Amino acid sequence: MLLLPILLAIRAAEGDAEIVLRLQRRESQALADLYDRYGRITYSLILRVVRDTGIAEDLVQETFLRVWNRVHAFDAQKGAIGPWLLAVARNRAIDYLRSAGGRERNAVEFEETDHPSLYTDMEPGILASDKARQVKAAVERLSVHQRQVIELAYFEGLSQTEMAQRMGQPLGTIKTWVRTALKTLRDELGATAVSA
Amino acid sequence: MNCTDLRDHYEFYALGLAEEPERSEIREHLDRGCEVCMLEIKRARDLVALLGGTPTPAAPSPKLRRRILASVGAEEPRRFGWSPFLAGATAMCLAAAVYFGGREWDFSRQVLVLRAQSRSQIIELTRLNEAFAILNGADTTVTSFGEKQPVPKGKLFVNPSLGFLMIASNLPQAPAGKTYELWLIPRAKGSQPVRAGTFQTDSNGAVMHMEHAAVDTASTAYVAVTMEVEGGVDAPTTKPVIVAPVGPALQ
């Protein structure tokens, strides 16, 4: 029984690697397989950011197109494609929020996902449902303010200065909350996050 | 700065919160292939990536899969006559990518921007096509709502096979943690409202929202909108802010 999660993770990684290779050979069915594997989680993440089902579907479409066009730079042997896909999805959604809200776009973040090589060597099972439950529980154990700054940063793409304005708190306080929250999450989840 | 100076900033960078000069420093280390920074950023990204799996699970419409495949030329869209245009535009994007792929880095970056714009325009065109399909459908019905009250008001277009399009204005923006949720209200007494998507208004309180699921106009009396917690709920918990009757066919 103890070996089951490991076997499942290995199987997921193998499946991802095969999909990446087929995407690089421009097999459109591989895109369908990628969507079947990550479509729901991608949609859920984007919907959480933009909070509109129609816009979320448009951005999911844009995300998968972007991955289709950039996948040649991904090394199928070095990691799972899921984290990169979600990073692209998050950046597309936040970019939409910034555009819609008249906020400045974060060009560095936007370009980062054009380099999928930085997303390799990640744990294959990082997006598994049991891991998601662990993360959710860890986030819920944060204090209200710590949880709020992490969510504003991840789901709304706010800078620390923007968070200070939104929450009506001094910038130094925001920085302390962010730093403490990240340390707590790293202490609770860091060991599993890098255990691939 | 050396890698030790940057040690406390990797997770801020991965989360998009790093400030200058640390952000540029980390970027420079990554660009020159600094092994320490590459490793630390991958660890930080692992931690941040975990947050991506935490939103409440939600399911997109079944048509989204076909739309995505159609946009890379893998499957013909069934509903519209724009497929040759979409396939052609996609092929042009791919051809442009191949052509410019061998050029200098600066030039290829410009191509990426153009391709992103092209994709956005194709998606926007698809969205407008879907709206026009509902508006022009032979069996589309239209009703107005909220005409005798200051807020909110608009029109509802319902096509039994294509879905519905709601255009509304004067809606207050949903507060943080809240969202507007649509419901199909059955005619039969005692029947439960059916979930039909969520949306947010723009900064002016206006919205143009489409749902692509088929609507049984014979058994549906109203489309209603309530304000609910983010992610939506299984049954409405608040008083509707919009109640639009599913009306007679357009002449």
List the single residue in A108, A121, A126 with the smallest CB-CB distance to B50. Answer: A126
Residues A98 and A31 in one domain: yes
Residues A145 and A180 in one domain: yes
Residues A100 and A18 in one domain: yes
A160: amino acid identity, one letter: Q
Rounded Cα distance, A42 and B57, in Å: 10
In the A/B pair of chains, how many CB contacts fall below 8 A?
A: 190
Task: Give the neighbor-by-neighbor strand order of the sheet with B178-186.
Answer: B194-199, B178-186, B220-229, B242-245
Cα distances (Å, whole numbers) of residue A22 to A7, A18, A71 = 23, 6, 10
Q: Find the range with the poorest average confidence among A86-90, A155-159, B72-76, B213-217.
A: B72-76
Window 133-172 of B, Cβ < 8 Å to A: none
pTM equals 0.59
Residues A78 and A156 in one domain: no
Residues A75 and A137 in one domain: no
Contact between B52 and A153 using a beta-carbon 8 Å cutoff: no
Q: Does the beta carbon of B60 lie under 8 angstroms from any beta carbon of chain A? A: yes
Boundary-marking domain end, from A98, A119, A140: A119
Boundary-marking domain end, from A119, A140, A157: A119
Give just the sign of the alpha carbon dihedral B23, A47, A81, A182: positive
Residue A63 has pLDDT above 90, yes or no: yes
- Which chain B residues are Cβ-neighbours of A146 within 8 angstroms? none
Residues A17 and A104 in one domain: yes
Contact indicator for A64, A89 with CB cutoff of 8 Å: no
Residues A181 and A87 in one domain: no
- Which chain B residues are Cβ-neighbours of A131 within 8 angstroms? 50, 53
Domain span at residue A185 reads 129-193
B9: amino acid identity, one letter: H
When pLDDT is averaged across residues A172-179 and rounded to a whole number, the result is: 92
Q: B80, exposed or middle or buried, with CB in 10 Å at 0-12, 13-18, 19+?
A: middle
Contact between B65 and A35 using a beta-carbon 8 Å cutoff: yes
DSSP string, chain A: -TTHHHHHHHHHHHHHHHHHHHHHTT-HHHHHHHHHHHHHHHHHHHHHHH--HHHHHHHHHHHHHHHHHHGGGS-TTS--SHHHHHHHHHHHHHHHHHHHTTPPP-HHHHHHTT-GGGG-S--TTTT-HHHHHHHHHHHHHS-HHHHHHHHHHHHH---HHHHHHHHT--HHHHHHHHHHHHHHHHHHHHHHHT--
Residue of A nearest to B28 (CA): A108
Domain of residue A136, CATH code? 1.10.10.10
Q: Is B6 helix (H, G, I), strand (E, B) or coil?
A: helix
Residues A45 and A68 in one domain: yes
Rounded Cα distance, B225 and B200, in Å: 11
Confidence of residue A44 (pLDDT cuts 50, 70, 90): very high
Whether A73 is covered by a domain: the verdict is: yes
Residues A115 and A182 in one domain: no
Rounded Cα distance, A37 and A15, in Å: 10
Residues A49 and A97 in one domain: yes
Contact between B57 and A41 using a beta-carbon 8 Å cutoff: yes
Q: How many domains does chain A have?
A: 2
Considering only CA atoms, which of A93, A121, A184, A90 is closest in space to residue B53? Answer: A90
Residues A22 and A94 in one domain: yes
Residues A133 and A107 in one domain: no
Task: State the 10-residue block means of pLDDT for chain B, 251 residues long.
Answer: 83 84 86 83 81 86 90 62 71 74 66 74 77 81 77 87 88 86 90 89 84 85 91 89 76 41
Measure B6 CA to nearest chain A CA, in Å.
Answer: 14
**Structural tokens at position B16:** 């998009």
Whether A124 is covered by a domain: the verdict is: no
Contact between B53 and A131 using a beta-carbon 8 Å cutoff: yes
Contact indicator for B78, A40 with CB cutoff of 8 Å: no
Whether A155 is covered by a domain: the verdict is: yes
Window 83-112 of B, Cβ < 8 Å to A: 93-94, 97, 112
Boundary-marking domain end, from A119, A141, A166: A119
When pLDDT is averaged across residues A87-112 and rounded to a whole number, the result is: 71
Q: Does the beta carbon of B250 lie under 8 angstroms from any beta carbon of chain A? A: no
Is ipTM strictly over 0.90?
no
Domain of residue A108, CATH code? 1.10.1740.10
